[in-house]
Amino acid sequence: MLLAIDVGNTNIVYGLFDGERLVHQFRVESSRGRTADEYAVTIRQLLAMRGIEPGHVDAAIVASVVPALTEPMLDLVRRAFALEALVVGPGIRTGMAILYENPREVGADRIVNAVAAYERFRGGLLVVDFGTATTFDCVSPKGEYLGGVISPGIQISADALFARAAKLPRVEIARPPRAVGRNTQHSMQSGIVYGYVALVDGLCERLVEELDFPCKVIATGGLARVIAPLSKRIEDVDDDLTLVGLRILYERNQG
């Protein structure tokens, strides 16, 4: 079985593949203070909960946007499974031309998402990933990574509002009953959710106009299913896009 590890600024997501099938998925908090031993104990406990012996894991791949956690993840794989993990980074075979001015600057998660999306749809794409930051990644009809946009994530935006406005309470990020809020909670939810929908749709519209080729707009990430139903531009949501992309990259780098 293949263990795919997606290290983000907020969460680490572990995906376990049996062939092409994603059979298990685990999500833990990204903590820079935890050691590789602690992470190793955690993943073995998570696998034990599903009745999976560590010996069933025979390969691993890691994509990390948190440099301080990359080495602990590699150590985790060594200690928990006695394996060396493949790392998404310079030198890895992606099967996709990276047309960024400096390809080394592109986050591993952005490349992984682009690869997975193009493998699935085989056309011009705009991939919106709702993570700690919200990223918009453009892929040409020929499967070239063109670049995109990085914007503050919806949770970051909300947290800034909670922290800087002394009289405003912390509210759940959820769709309010209507756009016109009739109490403070609903007014804030309207601004956070509908305001972010407008940001997403506005950027998608501008990017599609600039690209000048037909684009399918797909979304992934933690809050994709909150924003996507309200968006006029997002056409599809794939919760497992990053993990599937890691599986594809692992396969492309074997033999």
Residues with a catalytic annotation lie at 109
Q: Which residues contact 133 (CB under 8 A, 6 or more apart)?
A: 9, 150, 151, 152, 153, 156
- Name the phi and psi angles at 254, rounded to 5: -100, 125
Q: DSSP assignment of 155-177, as one string? A: HHHHHHHHHH-TTPPP------S
Strand pairing category for 236-237 and 216-221: parallel
Give dist(CA 46, CA 81) in Å, integer: 14
Using only C-alpha atoms, the chain has a radius of gyration, in whole angstroms, of 19
Residue pair 65/107 in contact (Cβ under 8 Å)? The answer is: yes
Q: Which pairs with CB-CB distance under 8 Å and at least 24 residues apart come from 237-240?
A: 238/116, 238/117, 238/120, 240/15, 240/22, 240/25
- Name the phi and psi angles at 126, rounded to 5: -130, 115
Element (H, E) at 22: strand 21-29
Give dist(CA 175, CA 184) in Å, integer: 14
How is residue 252 written in tokens?
A: 């492309």
Of the candidates 166, 165, 189, the one whose C-alpha atom is nearest the C-alpha of residue 176 is 189
